[in-house]
Amino acid sequence: MKDSYFANTELIGLVGHPIKHSYSPFIQNYALDVLNLDYVYLPFDVPVENLKIAVNAVLALGMKGLNVTLPHKEKIIKHLDELSEEASIIGAVNTIVNDHGKLMGYNTDAFGIIETLNPFKDKITGSKVSVIGAGGSARAVIYTLLRHFKPDEINIINRTQQRADTLVNDFSVKMRYDCFHTYELFPPDNVETLSSSKLIVNATTIGMFPDVEDTVTDLDESFNEEQIVFDLIYNPTKTKLLKLAESQGAKVVGGLKMLTSQAAKSFELWTGIEMPSSEIAEKLEYYIKKNS
């Protein structure tokens, strides 16, 4: 454990608005402490009109980098020098590295999704999958599915179908994939689409604390024992959707593994050192339960 901070301490920041519910400061500072690294990670509540100034501060203050969260993940791109392949296709950045004055943008959510779904790779490849949601994290899910898991068919189900259609147009061009179908989120109409999918991913905010009784569907015929159901939400660690899917025999996975894996990848990009992810995940689960 560090006793104090000295002249050489490196600064890493998190920018978002609002920011106070983020678990990233807990994860990153815990890992830095465990490994006794001379860095500190601080959250900064930055409204959109101050985003450019905040990015300039990274260079002016010689900061190591930033995490970027809602609502800045897309808007920050125009202030960066270079993007990784996944950040460029997804169209969103959650990690910035100050590489000797050059600002590099990455999207480590994709890595978190790979780590979460890898145990099910054989089942996903060549099969039909459904993604509920069409926001920033749904884009990261779709990029990762196409790049690493190669499903045969992807259904995108969203409250605003037009947003799903825009996403499809975008990915059809960028990743040359044409087996998409889009649907409006209306549970009675979605049963057949969901029940015939090997993988169902919830990439919406529905069911997130404190609205833990909400769910994208409560129709149990949408689920069966052949399926994997992945909910990106990490608070609660098991959503109402996952409980329902599990009761029908599906294999279920929450968002905690993705959260710690994306954080670990960002940590590695800044420090060059591997984060002790399993230890952090255990502490984080306890911390989330205590603070909910």
* Residue placing its CB nearer to ligand NAP in the complex, 124 or 281: 281
243 labelled catalytic: no
CB of 174 to ligand NAP, least distance (A): 18
Phi and psi, residue 253, nearest 5° = -140, 130
In sequence order, the 6+-apart residues with CB closer than 8 A to the CB of 118 are none
Quick one: 83 or 167, whose CB is closer to ligand NAP? 167
CB of 206 to ligand NAP, least distance (A): 5
User: What's the token pair of residue 89?
Assistant: 């296709």
Instruction: Name the nearest CA neighbour of 29 among 16, 19, 18, 42.
Output: 42
Min dist CB 292 to ligand NAP, Å, is 14
Min. distance of Cβ 63 from ligand NAP in angstroms? 23
> Would you tell me which residues interact with ligand NAP (CB under 6 A)?
70, 109, 112, 133-138, 158-160, 163, 185, 203-206, 208, 232-234, 255, 258-259, 262
Say which residue the tokens 């970027």 belong to.
68
2 or 181, CB closer to ligand NAP? 181
Nearer to ligand NAP (CB atom), residue 90 or residue 124: 90
Catalytically annotated residue among 64, 73, 257, 265: 73
> Cα 80 vs. chain centroid, distance in angstroms?
20
| Distance in Å, CB of 73 to ligand NAP, minimum | 7
DSSP for 80-97 reads -SEE-HHHHHHT--SEEE
**Nearest CB to ligand NAP, comparing residues 75 and 159:** 159
- Map residue 30 onto helix, strand or coil: helix
Phi-psi region of 133 (alpha: psi -120 to 50; beta: other; left: phi over 0): left
Give the CB-nearest residue to ligand NAP.
135
Pairing between β-strand 65-68 and β-strand 95-99 as defined by DSSP bridges:
antiparallel
Catalytic residues: 73
